[in-house]
Structure 1
Amino acid sequence: MFEHHGWITICESAADDEDNSRLAEIVERLQHRIQQIDSPYLLDLRWMNGEPFLHMGGFSNHRTSPEILDLFHYVGAIAPGSYGLLHLRDDEDPAHGNEVRVLALVRGSVTEHTEPRLSPCIPTLEDPAAPTGRAER
């Protein structure tokens, strides 16, 4: 199972600058990229109070493609002032199958960490599986 939930505040640069002349172009590029992904994922790019935001989420049986992770990195590359978080749960990840991971986008760089409030998934989020088989009599 692969679950993800995230958000990004889209910013051209980290400078506190009122002149975001490239911001509309950046949003247009992101909109095009989102249309290419066109899938059952939640991908919502919209302007709120004069600022663009991207919200994403999804839940599938397997991590079948890296599109969402690629999109998260792509935003950092084209809009290095952007910031946001993407929470991931992938029970097929051999190194982190019992963890919720969080990707943090800050100043164009993405780092990955374990989310301590939701990990380990078992027993934090789910009960351990019941033992299988019958007791010998």
Structure 2
Amino acid sequence: MMEYHGWITVRETAGDDDDEDRLPRIVDELRLRIAQMDSPYLLDLRYMNGEPFIHLGGCSNHRMTPDAVELFEHVGVIAPGSYGLLHVRDDEDPGHENEVRVLRLVRGVVTQHTEALLSPCIPTLEDPFTG
């Protein structure tokens, strides 16, 4: 099973010197990429309070394609001021089958961490299998 939930605040830079013309071009490029991903799950880019945000989530019976992770990495490259988190539970991830992992996007870099509040999945989220 593969479950994921995440968000990204899209910003051109980490400073206050954003080019007002560049951010809309970045958002347009991201809209095209999201449209090409053709996900049956939650995948949304919208403006809220004048700022662009990406929200994504899904759950499938098997490992997802790396599209969500690649999207985080791509945003980091084209808009290095962006930041966000992607929580992933993947029971087919060797060595991490019993963990919720967090991908953190900050200043153009994506890093992976164990989510201590939700891990280990058994017994934190679910009872041990007794069958």
CA distances 1:25-71 after superposition (whole Å, capped 9, x unpaired): 00000000000011212101001111000000000011141111111
Larger radius of gyration: 1
Which whole-Å CA distance do the structure 1 matches of 2:20 and 2:123 have between them?
46
2:37 paired residue number:
37
Shift of 1:111: 0.6
Q: TM-score, normalised by structure 2?
A: 0.96
Q: Aligned pair in 2 of structure 1 residues 95, 6: CA closer, same or farther (>3 Å)?
A: same
Which whole-Å CA distance do the structure 1 matches of 2:19 and 2:80 have between them?
15
1:86 paired residue number:
86
Which whole-Å CA distance do the structure 2 matches of 1:76 and 1:18 have between them?
15
Identity over the aligned pairs, expressed in percent?
69
Which whole-Å CA distance do the structure 1 matches of 2:58 and 2:39 have between them?
10
**How many pairs were matched up?**
131
Segments of structure 1 that go 5 or more residues without pairing to the other structure are: 133-137
Q: TM-score, normalised by structure 1?
A: 0.92
Aligned-residue RMSD, C-alpha: 1.0
CA distances 1:91-118 after superposition (whole Å, capped 9, x unpaired): 0111100000000000000110000000
- Given that residues 12 and 18 in structure 2 are in contact (C-alpha distance below 8 angstroms), is that contact kept between their aligned partners in structure 1? no
